[in-house]
Homo-oligomer: A and B are copies of this chain.
Amino acid sequence: MSGNSFGTIFRLTTFGESHGPGLGGVVDGCPAGVPMSEEIIQQELDRRRPGSGKASTARKESDRVRLLSGVFDGMTTGTSIGFYVENEDQRSRDYSTLKDIFRPGHADFSFHAKFGRRDYRGGGRSSGRETLSRVAGGAIAQELLRQQGIALYASTVELGGISVATMNYEDAAQTPYFSADRDVVAAWDERIDAVKADGDTLGGVVEVRAVGVPPGLGEPVFDKLDARLAYALMGVGAVKAVEIGSGCVAARSTGSANNDYMTLDGFTSNNAGGSLGGISSGQDVVARAYIKPIPSIAREQKCMHRNGETVCVRVGGRHDISAIPRINPVLKAMMALTLADLLLVDRRLGERL
């Protein structure tokens, strides 16, 4: 398998399974002189823990990160940064019932088809715990971006089909479900309760936004800012659609309505989501990820046994009702990793001699 590295210049490589010794990664290509500590990373990891909103269960995961290299006297040194999070909660639960079962909506069947073997305990490499390494790496990228005056936000804009009415992305980090609209929370609570009672799960939509991005990031042709963001976000487990700026709506608009006009005071709209011809324009970079419902539901479901038979299985354990809001810091991390990479790529090329 390949594909465990992300980025060309600022590059994150990750490893780890949900029920192995632990998870971690290496950030290669971070410039020297970025303030860095275990606390900076831990702060982002803590955002990923359950507890905010009714969609997540109350597991106790401390997930303490350890910095293993690349930082000296509180600053990055320019060498590769290793980090590691030990798995604590490896109860000796019996997973043998899942050994030969392909659950619907999960990677069981396709991993088996690809590799011929798999670590079937709790999802193995395809477990949601894999995103821990993304968030840790993303925290390093975010610190680099912060030094350049770039701030990132991830806010929930839709849950179970109910949309927000306002777009307070700056407050979202302090709002249940990381919602962009405090007033929608009660409706979401109600929807979650109903679906939970029904033993089912929900999806939604998360907006990620970068403020302060300089013009010039992204490359013409294949490596457009839009393309790199789509790649970054669609690579997160539950994401099934990505849009930039007005996105899907643009496809139903006209040229005269969709074009963003420039004046001396700047652009008069941002349908483009901050990207012109695939290169950042200086406007906010805005993308939305569409999250599918969690496939593990609290009902018996038809599964495929490895021998071809259909079996009915109810997968036990405590499960979230929605990947939102735990997915939000993951999506923010992916945007941070993307922008850090494009920023460094541009630094060498965009400058004129």
Contact = CB atoms under 8 A, between A and B. Distances in A.
B219 A3 contact: yes
A15 B68 contact: yes
Contacts of A69: 15-17, 20-23, 125
* Range class of the A interface residue count: 35 or more
A351 B122 CA distance: 24
Interface stretch (A46-54, A169-177, A182-190, A220-228): A220-228
Contacts of A253: 203, 292-293
A59 interface: no
Given A26-B13, A66-B21, A104-B259, A347 B350 contact: no
B109 A281 contact: yes
Contacts of A164: none
A259 B80 contact: no
Report which residue of A259, A264, A308 has the largest number of chain B beta carbons within 10 angstroms of its beta carbon: A259
A211 interface: no
B219 A254 contact: no
A244 interface: yes
A28 interface: yes
Per CB-CB distance, the 4 closest pairs between chain A and chain B, nearest first, are A107-B277, A3-B223, A3-B219, A227-B235
